[in-house]
Chains A and B, each alone.
Chain A
Amino acid sequence: MKPIYLVAAAGALGFVVASLVVVDEQQQALLIGKDAASGTQLAPGLHFRIPLLEQVQRFDGRVSTLDIASESVLTAERKNLLVDGFGLWRIQDPVLYQQQLGGDELKAVSNLKALMASALQANATHYALEQLISGAREELNQAVLQQVREQARSWGIAVLDWRLRQVEVPGAFNAEVAEHMRHDFEQAAQQQRSETAVLVDKIRDEADQKRRAAVAEADHQAQVLRGKADARALAIAANSYGKNPEFFNYYRSLQVYQNGFEKGQDALVLKPDAELYKQFAAQP
């Protein structure tokens, strides 16, 4: 084999390899000929090109997010606000994209940002602060999206979504609100505590009162019981002693004397004519 054939074969192989184009599933690709501003879109898969004459431009075909950070807007009541938002976008038409923006992603992003910011400013003036915080957000989102979408389409870009994120009142507003909130919380805590104290006292007092009432009622019942017993005892006594009141008087008096002297500390002063002594003296 002559070396010339080898060189030719190697050259042919290199040509073939250079002419192969593989486009990935997540990519958008464009085959660009002499005219840098136009080209044909390539689907994912295998393609061929003429090496050196034709170029392949690849873009990300997936959905990306785009941040709009702290854009200053004026509300309907001429209030200054700082607003955050974000958009979702993807390259829709690589041919247009290449034509309009030269396929430059940085340029696309900065253009989109400017577009979104101006659309946001233009639309925000139709709403009051109150509406931007809640209520009209969805409406504003749609309005901005509509406006951005139109313009972006001419760049070959599809803006899929646009949404408001943070709405902030600049300056001392946040600190004022925070101070106000702190005051409210302190008041709430204080109120809660005093309510608690009142409630707890009430529960305790009621319990004490219930206890006293219950005990008083029980005491009443007990006294009635004692009284009944006393009455019954008196009835029994009356019935029994009534059989001979004279003897009862005598018997009971003796008992009283006897019980009265039982402590042993008393002294008796007796006359000699006392009955007992008389007996004692009479009989030697």
Chain B
Amino acid sequence: MSSENRNADPQQEQPDWKRICEQYWQKLSQRSLEYYEQHQHQFSTRNLIAGGAALIVAAWAGCGFYQVDRGYRGVETLIGAYSSTTSQGNHWHMPWPLGQVTLVNVGTPRVVELGLRAAKQNFNIPETLSISRDHGLINAGWLVQYQVDDARNFLFNVANPEQTIKQLTDSLGREEIARYTLADLTREGGATAAGAVKLQLQKLLDQQHAGIQIIGVRLAEIMPPDLARSAFEDAKRAHDEHQHLKHEAEVYANEQITKARNESQRLTREATSYAAEKVAKTENETARFEQLLTEYQKSPAIVRKQLYLDAQEHILAATRKVIVTTDQLPGMYFVAPTLSNVALQAADPNHAASIVDNSAHAHKAVRGELRPSRSKP
């Protein structure tokens, strides 16, 4: 069942196009033939020629439609003479050979370069030097940006606008450069000179009705002659270095300020803490003393004895001891190298006095006192 259906469906859905076409073609040719037979008197040779001519004229006229894009102007001429200028949109103008339309780009700025170093090198053009106010020689490179202001004037008035702009810029530029020194030109003078050139250039082009508007003139390159170039660049470098080194020194100076502040703060901090510590320590000591004093005032003898014995205890614990009986005469004392005056004083106040007196002389003298002199008294 289903397979039968499948076979039947395509036959229904796909009509025989060839046959249908043939049917229609037959119908059409039959109708045309009938029309021709019925209106045979109208198909005279004259009428046929007229119809053909009308068709050609219509096709020719159709060629007259044209479109002007944004930023363009269409300049129409009729049999050679200017007729009108059209702007953006669709227009019709008499087609060739009677009329002609030239589309002129007025929206895009165009650039003329003059005397740029790269171009000179590429095309092997010799240096064209301008003379500055201080009688220096300068290779000046100019960039002139312009756009078409009036398409009609631009097309019909000046034969070679770019060449004309070049020549005028060259002349005006040299005149301006002669008003400045090279140093001026590398600073603000360059822009001022370019501004003056722009004004003059526009004025002169307007005198010729060139249909050109100067957008900008720039003194793009200022170079001394090749012989002096490396020295010139070195001088510029020296100028740049100046800025750089000065900046570095200023950074260093700022660092020093920070360091000075930190150091000062540290000194103040240390002094403050010393002061606090010192006062606190003294207060602690006096507090202890006053406690003892209270007890001392109650029973001086006991406290004295107690303190004395405490001290003895400490001293004896911390030292080596040599005990000498009075009736023995020692041949030699063993004396520790670091034996201090205080130790001697504690042991023998009489001797200590003499040692303290002599201590100013020499170490040797002290030793001499200690050893054999003992036996003499």
Residues of A within 8 A of B (CB): 22-27, 43-46, 60-65, 67, 85-86, 88, 133-135, 137-138, 160-161, 163-168, 174-175, 177-179, 181-183, 185-186, 188-190, 192-193, 195-196, 199-200, 203-204, 206-208, 210-212, 214-215, 217-219, 221-223, 225-226, 228-230, 232-234, 236-237, 239-241, 243-244, 247-248, 250-251, 254-258, 260-274, 276-277
List which B225-246 residues lie within 8 A (CB) of chain A: 225-228, 231-232, 234-235, 237-239, 241-242, 245-246
Q: Given that A25-B155, A134-B178, A204-B253 are contacting pairs, would A45 and B81 also be in contact in the complex, using a CB cutoff of 8 Å? A: yes
Contact pick for A268, options B182, B207, B239, B347, CB 8 Å: B347
B261: CB under 8 A from chain A?
Answer: yes
What are 18 A-B contacts defined by CB distance under 8 Å? A44-B81, A65-B167, A134-B178, A174-B225, A175-B227, A185-B235, A214-B261, A217-B264, A218-B267, A221-B268, A232-B275, A232-B282, A240-B286, A241-B289, A247-B300, A251-B292, A265-B336, A268-B320
A residues in contact with B339, CB < 8 Å: 266-267
Q: Are B82 and A264 in contact (CB under 8 A)?
A: no
Q: Which residue of B lies closest to A229 (CB)?
A: B275
**Known contacts A185-B224, A247-B293, A24 near B80 by CB under 8 Å:** yes
Contact of B248 among A135, A181, A200, A240 (CB under 8 A): A200
- Which of B210, B279, B340 contacts A236 (CB under 8 A)? B279
A85–B168 alpha-carbon span in the complex (Å): 10
Q: Is B346 in contact with chain A by the CB < 8 A criterion?
A: yes
Question: B223: shortest Cβ distance to chain A, in Å?
Answer: 11
Given A232-B279, A251-B307, A266-B339, A181 and B228 contact (CB-CB distance below 8 Å): yes
Min C-beta distance of A248 to chain B, whole Å: 7
Q: Which of A183, A250, A273 contacts B307 (CB 8 A)?
A: A250
Q: Say yes or no: is B319 at the interface (Cβ < 8 Å to chain A).
A: yes
Across the interface, which residues of B come within 8 angstroms of A189, CB to CB?
231, 234-235, 237-238
For A177, what are the chain B residues with a Cβ–Cβ distance below 8 Å? 135-137, 225
A239 to chain B, nearest CB (A): 8
Using CB atoms, name the residue of chain A closest to B258: A211
List residues of B (103-134) whose CB comes within 8 Å of A's CBs.
128-131, 133
A161 — which chain B residues lie within 8 A by C-beta?
204, 207-208
Which residue of the partner chain, among A27, A167, A215, A264, contacts B319 with CB atoms under 8 Å?
Answer: A264
A268 touches B257 (CB 8 A): no
Assembly CA distance A24 to B259 (angstroms): 85
B164: interface (CB < 8 Å): yes
* B16 sits at the interface (CB 8 A): no
Flag if A225 contacts B322 (CB, 8 Å).
no
Q: How many residues from B make CB contacts under 8 Å with A?
A: 119
Nearest-neighbour CB distance to chain A for B24, whole angstroms, equals 43
The contact of B315 among A160, A226, A268, by CB within 8 Å, is: A268
Per-position binary interface string of chain B over residues 302-343, scored 1 when its CB falls under 8 Å from any chain A CB and 0 otherwise: 001001101110111011111111100000011110111011
Contacts of B34 in A (CB 8 A): none
Q: Are A134 and B175 in contact (CB under 8 A)?
A: yes
Q: Is the CB of A45 within 8 A of B157?
A: no
Are B129 and A63 interface neighbours, CB within 8 A?
A: no
Are B249 and A199 in contact, with the CB atoms below 8 A? yes
CB pair A215–B158 under 8 Å, yes or no, is no
CB atoms of B322 and A267 under 8 A apart: yes
In the complex, the answer to whether A270 meets B322 with C-beta atoms within 8 Å is: yes
B252 at the interface (CB under 8 A from A): yes
Q: Hey, which chain A residues are within 8 Å of B344, CB to CB? A: 269
Closest approach, in angstroms, between the C-beta of B183 and any C-beta of chain A?
Answer: 9
Q: Known contacts A168-B129, A266-B338; is A185 also within 8 Å of B253 by CB?
A: no
- B296 neighbours in A (Cβ, 8 Å): 244, 247
Report whether A210 and B323 are in contact in the complex, using a CB–CB cutoff of 8 Å: no
Query: Are A229 and B274 within 8 A (Cβ)?
Result: yes
Query: Nearest residue in A to B270 (C-beta to C-beta)?
Result: A222
Option from B81, B210, B304, B307 in Cβ contact (under 8 Å) with A25? B81
Q: Is the CB of B241 within 8 A of A167?
A: no
| CB-nearest residue of chain B to A27 | B80
A-side contacts of B69, CB under 8 Å: none
A178–B224 CB distance below 8 A: yes
Determine how close the nearest CB of chain A comes to the CB of B367; give it in whole angstroms. Answer: 15
Chain A hits for B315, CB < 8 A: 257-258, 261, 268
Contact A167 B249 (CB under 8 A): no
Q: How far is the CB of B126 from chain A (nearest CB, A)?
A: 11
Q: B31 contacts the other chain (Cβ, under 8 Å)?
A: no
- Whether B290 contacts A243 by the Cβ 8 Å rule is yes
Is B282 in contact with A236, judged by CB distance below 8 angstroms? yes
Contacts of B224 in A (CB 8 A): 178, 181-182, 185
